[in-house]
Amino acid sequence: MDIYEEIKKLTEISAMSGREDRMISYIISRLKESADDLHVDKMGNVTATYLGRGENPPSIAYFAHMDEVGLIVKKIEDTGFLRLERVGGIPEKVLPSEFLDVHTLDGTTSVRGVVGNTSHHLTSAEKKFSVTAINEIYVDIGCRSKEEVLSLGVDIGSSVTYVPNFMKMGNCIVSKSLDDRMGIYTLLALAEHLETAEHEATVYLIFTVQEEFNVRSSTPTFKRLEPDAAICVDISPACDTPELEGKYDMALGKGVAIMYMNFHGRGTLGGLLPNPKLNQFLEEIAKDELMNCQKEVVIGVITDDAFTQLAGTEGIPMAHLSIPLRYTHSPAEAACVKDIEDCAELMCLSACKFGRHVDLSRGC
């Protein structure tokens, strides 16, 4: 599986939160021949099961989200311009003059548009250094009336996503929606590995929906499965660029990160404090295999595992692997290919080494 071609393909698939059907179909097409069982729940979460050895084997789940940040059409002006709301953490600062794909309401096709940006020559002094708020942003799709927009199949409720733009840049890749298509890539790599590798545990590969919108939509899957352990695979903001240098110890090219705490930083959204022994299990594998590995503690980031850890009757021991990513949620996210490969390797090793001998109990 060529990492460049695979991630390029994944990032080209439009899958805004709540509109993941194209990605769901792609995952099914990729895994229907290899998985022992393939299940899509009513939310859209996909679970591929690879059965372990013997009777009543232990189970471990690996999961990553299929969706991407985007926008939604909230109003069509009589003049043909579109007004938007954010779906997930789209940063308004990146939107002016950005090319976007505006999808028809039925999701069958899309039209290309551009976010309007006041002509430089006529921009007032007070506006030159300010961020345009979402309620002032509009999209131009070349229509001159509301009727013309509607005739294209675009309507209130249409999804809007960044334009596919995958490219290589040195030893890095740059694209929209690397968050979390890199995680999806590692799950597909693990699926390929499990086709031939021996593993004591039953391994669940879970492709989740709506992480960017509400971080809770995978909970039904974990209540249904109640695995003995689970590992989330997502991104973490890299702090190796000039404006973020030193904020956190996270950099491209230094390997996958084992997370020790993440937290949203406000309200009830919470975060994850992983199972210490599951982290130790991952750390020991990385050490034995001489793998580059980082440690992550970050405020301002929250992922699926913040809530899935609470599923079932006793909760689920969780760990989290993070792939460092620059320019998160922008149209040009950047990652190091070796970090992605290291993450996939650690997942493959841990899936095959996980068994009843791995003690995840607390208090001893």
**What is the number of other CB atoms lying within 10 angstroms of the CB of residue 228?**
19
Question: What's the pLDDT tens digit per position in 105-136?
Answer: 999 999 999 999 988 888 888 888 889 899 99
Q: For residue range 53-84, what is the model confidence (pLDDT) as tens digits?
A: 878 899 999 999 999 999 999 999 999 999 99
Domain chopping of the chain, boundaries? 3-68+176-353, 70-162
Sign of CA pseudo-dihedral 115, 116, 121, 123? negative
Name the nearest CA neighbour of 66 among 180, 237, 191: 180
Share of the chain above pLDDT 90, in %: 84
Q: How far apart (Å, rounded) are the C-alpha atoms in residues 321 and 305? A: 11
Q: Tokens 């000039």 — which residue?
A: 242
Q: 3-68+176-353: which CATH number, 2.40.50.100, 3.40.50.1220, 3.40.50.1100, 3.40.630.10?
A: 3.40.630.10
Determine the pLDDT at residue 245. Answer: 86
Least confident window among 143-152, 170-179, 265-274: 265-274
If pLDDT is split at 50, 70 and 90, which confidence band does 269 have?
Answer: low
Residue 15, pLDDT above cutoff 80: yes
How much is the pLDDT for 118? 86
**In the chain, how long is the greatest CA-to-CA distance?**
73
Catalytically annotated residue among 68, 200, 211, 296: 211
Catalytic residue list contains 211: yes
Cα–Cα dist 231/204, whole Å = 10
Say if residue 89's pLDDT is above 70: yes
Confidence bin at 284 (pLDDT 50/70/90): very high
Q: Which CATH superfamily is domain 70-162 in?
A: Peptidase M42, domain 2 (2.40.30.40)
